[in-house]
A and B are shown apart, each in its own frame.
Chain A
Amino acid sequence: NLHKKNLIYYAGVSSQSNGDRFKIEGRAIVPGVKTQDWVSTARVLVEGEEYVGFLRTDGSFAVNDIPSGSYVVEVVTPTFRFEPVRVDITSKGKMRARLVNFIKTSEVIRQPYPLQIRGSPQSYFMRRETWGWTDFLMNPMVMMMVLPLLIIVLLPKVVNTNDPEMRKEMEQSMNMLNPNPELPDVSELMTKLFSGSKGSGKAGGSSKGTRPAVKRR
């Protein structure tokens, strides 16, 4: 008889003491990674380190003993990144999860509750700048330098400038483009230049070798 009385009395006590304490529940998963591999390094932080919870072996968690209020819940591990979630608990124990927004603090974008938090691998490293030939060649400055060079070197070879007919034709077309014959014509200058240097260019076989020679003329 005494025993039963005790039980009833006790029940009263428990509802009183637990009346304003709640628990936040949820589950954290990293797609494609077994939970066993990372749960031992994970923690659930509620509002900084105000309340701390741990993950079960299946990735689910429950943080006990939390009074009503609004909290930022975050799962932290060294290897994965989980988005924090704000959880509001009313004094009656109604729960609501929403996106964290520190600027518009009253904005509500609902999130599922119990929480479903997905993790993604975290990268702490910046890709180091490496020196590769492709990087060098793809540099716009280099491209700007190389392309005209190619044109300068290759064009005279493709178009046989020694052929008098061709030359005449070209001159004609140039004259059409360039109505003022008094002005020094760039292409003419070029063709002159390269037909002159052709001999030495062949001997040297190096474009580097030709350039100083040209200047000296």
Chain B
Amino acid sequence: MLFVLSEEHKHLGFLSEVDPAVVGESGRIAVEFLKKGSNPKIYEGALNVWSGSVQHGLEGLMYLLTESCKLTISEEDFQDSVLVLGFSEELTELLLQLYLENRKEIRQILSKPAPSLPHYHSLEWRLDVQLSSRPLRHQLKPTVTLKLHLEDGARRSAHVLQTDPATLQHLIDELERALAELKSSHCRRILHNIQ
């Protein structure tokens, strides 16, 4: 799968005008920006080129990397896509190396902002027996108290639930049935086709 480079990518043109060391440095800075957010002070110090084109150039490089990682394109496709910009073989090779080395990490960063539901963090539980209450003595009522800890990005929430053993057993049976679905032939066929 190729990705199409458009008018905007003329900004990457500055890369062919500088020597390979600078390209390497720009690549490293672009990856840092993808990890931590952009920091304009670095433009001036690290690269001795006019700041306007440097900013666009770096952004162009970041876009090149994120688009390639988004589509997880193969080496040949990457090279073919970049061919459009008319870079030297050496430069193309440098960019390819940059892509391959950082691909996994950038994909991880890209996977984060996707909308998600709070997910399981941990579960605390307690088994009690109610022996007596104000209106009624001599009881034997077992209850299970659960505290479900969930995490949603940085936010933690806790939910307190209480149930009797019969309902808990029913809950367990339903969840086991859900897990067993994964092993059904229908599910296996789909997972096999995705992977």
Q: Do A and B bind each other?
A: no
